Structure 1
């Protein structure tokens, strides 16, 4: 795998924060904000996926009884 040579836009913005000391409470708030943002984004993407594929309760039931593991092949 090739290493990334350029920082992403998110990494660049977060690096700007490193120039400032924040309290432990502020750090916890920042972490919570980031977690909330990504959780909301995942929810949005999942809702879109379900809508695009017209999935419903029957899909959940099929997943409950399905066997999706594949054997290990070195």
Structure 2
């Protein structure tokens, strides 16, 4: 990914576009993290009771 970002800079991407690219990357990584955490959540059989248990420190 770093190489691809360097290619963008080398291609002369305007500075005003960079925040947009940063936002796209952040959204992509957030989506992947949510998907992975959802899989783990299901695999482990977590539910609202699990969260309540964690919040109570039990």
Taking structure 2 as the reference length, what is the TM-score of the superposition?
Answer: 0.86
Select 2:5's aligned residue among 5, 9, 14. 14
Aligned Cα RMSD in Å? 1.4
| Structure 2: gaps spanning 5 or more residues | none
Question: CA offset at residue 25 of structure 1?
Answer: 3.2
How does the TM-score come out when normalised to structure 1?
A: 0.69
What SS is found at the alignment partner of 1:22?
coil
Q: Which has the larger helix fraction?
A: 2
Unaligned runs of 5+ in 1: 1-9, 68-74
Which of the numbers 34, 38, 42 marks the counterpart of 1:47?
38
- Please list, as runs of the form range in 1=range in 2, the aligned pairs for 1:25-40 lying within 5 A after superposition: 25-40=16-31
Larger radius of gyration: 1
Shift of 1:28: 1.4
Report 1 or 2 for greater relative contact order, CA contacts < 8 Å, sequence distance ≥ 6: 2
